[in-house]
Amino acid sequence: MLRVARAAIFAVLPGEVLILILLIAGVELPRAVTVCTEAVVLALLVFEAAVAAWLWRGHRQSGLSGRTAARAAYEDLVPLKVRRIVGFDFKALVSLFLFAARRRHGVPDGTTPVSYHREQNAIMMMFMVAMVIEAVTVDLLLRAIDAPGPLRKIILAADVYGILIGLAIAAAAVTRPHVISQDELRLRSGGYFDLRIPRELIASVRRARNFSEPGWFVLEDEKFALAVSSQTNLVVELSEPVTLTRPLGAQAEVSMIRFFADKPEEAFAALAATLERS
C-alpha cells in the first residue's frame, strides 16, 4: 500500500502539471480529458490521505505522541531524497530571513564561527545577474510573440522563484558557517551539508592548501573533502571514523577531512587551542 502511494505521486502529479500548463497556454483539450484528469487527481489525494492516516494510527498505537507520529508517517510516505530536497529549499529560505536580520544559525555564545563563502561570492553574483537577464529576456520574447498572459506570468513567477532561491543559497553560506567549540567541530555547506565531529575524536589538525579538489563534496577511501571553488586549506585527522550524511541521505564513514576556511590561520588557531585544552 505504501509503495503504491509513493508511485502514484510520481506518476500522476507530473501529468496534472502538464495539463494545467496547456490550459493556461490556451490549448483546448477535450472535456473528457480534463474531467478524467481531475477525477484521477482527486482520487489520488483521497488515497494519499487514507494512507497517511493509516500510517499515523500505526505509529500512535506503538506509543508515539501525535506530533511525532505525524512526522513518522510523513517520513514513511515521502521518500528520503524528496524530503532532503524540500529541506534544502526550506533551509535556504530561512537563511534569507536570517541574513536580512543579520543573524547566524547554530552559532551560540562562546563558539568560533568560521566563514567559507568569500571565495564564491563573485561567482554567485555573476550567476544571479545572468538569472535576472534571462528572466527579463524571456519575458520580452514571450510578449513579442503574443504569448498568453497567464503563461507569461507562470514563467515569470518560476524565474523569480529561481532568483529567490539563488539569493537564499548565497545567504545560507553566510548564515551557516563552520563552528568550532569546546565540544565539537561543526562543518557545514549552506543548508546542504552538516557534520558534527566530537572534539575528542580530533587527533590532529594542519594547514594544507589544495587548489585542485575535483568537486565541492569529495569522498574516497574514508577521506572527505568539503571544498569551496575547488579549494581546501585545512586538514583534520580523526582517531576513529565518524559517520557523515551525504546531501541526499546516504551515509559513509570518514577518518580524514579536508575543508576550506576564509581565514585558515584563525580556524587553525581555534582548533589547536581546543586540542591543547583537551
In tens, the pLDDT along 17-27 reads 666 666 655 66
Cα–Cα distances in angstroms (integers) from residue 65 to residues 54, 70, 76, in the given order = 15, 8, 16
- Residue 22, amino acid: L
Q: What is the pLDDT of residue 239?
A: 94
CATH number of 178-277: 2.30.29
Block mean pLDDT (10 aa), the chain, length 278: 66 65 63 74 80 89 91 85 87 94 94 94 90 92 85 86 91 96 95 94 94 92 94 96 93 96 95 80
Angle, vertex CA 73, rays to CA 70 and CA 79, nearest 5: 130
Taking the C-alpha atoms of residue 122 and residue 41, their distance in angstroms, rounded to an integer, is 44
Q: What is the DSSP string of 78-141?
A: S-HHHHHHHHHHHHHHHHHHHHHTT--SS--TT-EEE---GGGHHHHHHHHHHHHHHHHHHHHH
Give the CB-side neighbour count of residue 75, counting CA atoms within 13 A. 8
pLDDT tens-place string over residues 242-256: 999 999 888 999 999
C-alpha cell at 94: 530561512
Cβ–Cβ < 8 Å for 173, 123? no
Q: What is the pLDDT of residue 13?
A: 64
Q: What is the pLDDT of residue 41?
A: 72
Q: What is the pLDDT of residue 17?
A: 65
Q: What is the pLDDT of residue 224?
A: 96
